Amino acid sequence: MRTVRAAVVGGGIIGVAVARELMRSATATEVVLYEKESHLAHHQTGHNSGVVHAGLYYEPGSLKAQLCRRGVGLLKDLATRRNLPYEECGKVVVARDGSERGRLETILERALANGVSGVRMIDGNELASIEPHARGIAALHSPTTAITDYKRVTQALAEEFVEAGGELRMGHEVISLQERSARVTVGTRRGSHEHDLVINCAGLQSDRVARAAGDAESPRIVPFFGAYFLLKADRRHLVNGLIYPVPDARYPFLGVHLTKRIDGEIMVGPNAFLSGGRESYGPWQLSPKDLGETIGFPGFWRFAAGNIPAAIREGRTVLSKKAFVEAARDYVPDLVAEDVVPGSRGIRAQAMNRDGRLVDDFVITGSARMVHVRNAPSPGATSSMAIAEHIVRGLSA
């Protein structure tokens, strides 16, 4: 068997899962993972709420639906085998009025078509028995929706990758990819290296890496931050599992919800607002380069013009703790502003087309020697191992 040298760019959960799958499947004999940070799961993976999505919302037959369902099984198996935290705490999607109940029926149809186990519609009384402090006229209950720790999952995948013979190169920022005949040159700030194939899983920087390699200009990553509050310890009893709103097609993002975390904390949020930078986690941090690239992208202005009500709604939650908590009180009325303290803040790598539409499904592009994961939004972490299988299977097709 000839030596096949592969490279993966990006040390988030998807990049590590892809690198591991390349070794496990024997698609490559040598695999190197390049990560610019000093540790894995530093960006999106490390700021993830930890929800293992069951596959309720996704269009049946879509890549999201297929890979989410497959990913749940693979993740649960890994958690069992590696003794990782995994709790099926359950989820309720709460309808506040008749119009939202109608939208729940559509979600139920999708969930059943996607093979989600145990999902069913419940009335307000049964909702109160599952989440005593939640209020709504009905809810969709998904008892198998789970929570985990994606940092630990990523570390477990990395350990299996290294055990199989893979190599992690931390502190290696990839700045160029160039295909020359039968090889791809990976340029880093610490030198250049030759590989037979390269898979770009750079998350927040994925479009830049792809464009540098000659891939399409669009979709473009437009970063949106999401901030969380945490319930104080003596108020965690207000939430047993996951309490979510019914998605509203008029708004591009889900809105504030309440999420139990695997360490017992209860998260309230996130909101969603344009970030000053792709990696600007502080409230006043910004990157002139990132911001300039966003406002110079025609798609952003088309998106903004079509989502003024959403921007106003989300802007209120950015400026006012009271407004933030009021959004959560729609579902848990006993919650008050004094019950929460500031939590974490993450940035989602949201892919956007030039016409201003947000890209909903997973997007994987490239050639026989270079593959680019251009969009892997939620449920990307849940689906990570299934995404890896899908990519690696495509290499040998």
The string of pLDDT tens digits covering residues 260-271 is 999 999 999 999
The string of pLDDT tens digits covering residues 77-113 is 999 999 999 999 999 999 999 999 999 999 999 999 9
The string of pLDDT tens digits covering residues 310-332 is 999 999 999 999 999 999 999 99
The answer to whether the CB of 13 falls within 8 A of the CB of 160 is: no
238 Cβ neighbours under 8 A, 6+ residues apart: 133, 231, 258, 266, 332, 334, 335, 339
| Average pLDDT value over all residues in the chain | 96
**Percentage of the chain exceeding pLDDT 70:** 99
Show the tokens assigned to 315.
């802007």
pTM: 0.97
Predicted local confidence at residue 288, as pLDDT:
97
The answer on pLDDT for 1 being more than 80 is no
CATH 3.50.50.60 fits 5-47+151-218+361-395, yes or no: yes
The string of pLDDT tens digits covering residues 217-261 is 999 999 999 999 999 999 999 999 999 999 988 888 899 999 999
Domain ranges for the chain, please list them.
5-47+151-218+361-395, 88-146+220-352
The string of pLDDT tens digits covering residues 107-124 is 999 999 999 999 999 999
Predicted local confidence at residue 251, as pLDDT:
81
Cis peptide bond prior to 379, omega within 30° of 0? yes
Cα angle 283, 287, 291; round to 5: 100
Distance CA 13, CA 225 (A): 19
The answer to whether the CB of 145 falls within 8 A of the CB of 51 is: yes
* pLDDT band per the 50, 70, 90 thresholds, residue 397: low
Domains 5-47+151-218+361-395 and 88-146+220-352 share a fold: no
Alpha helices per DSSP H over 164-234? 206-212
CATH 3.30.70.270 fits 88-146+220-352, yes or no: no
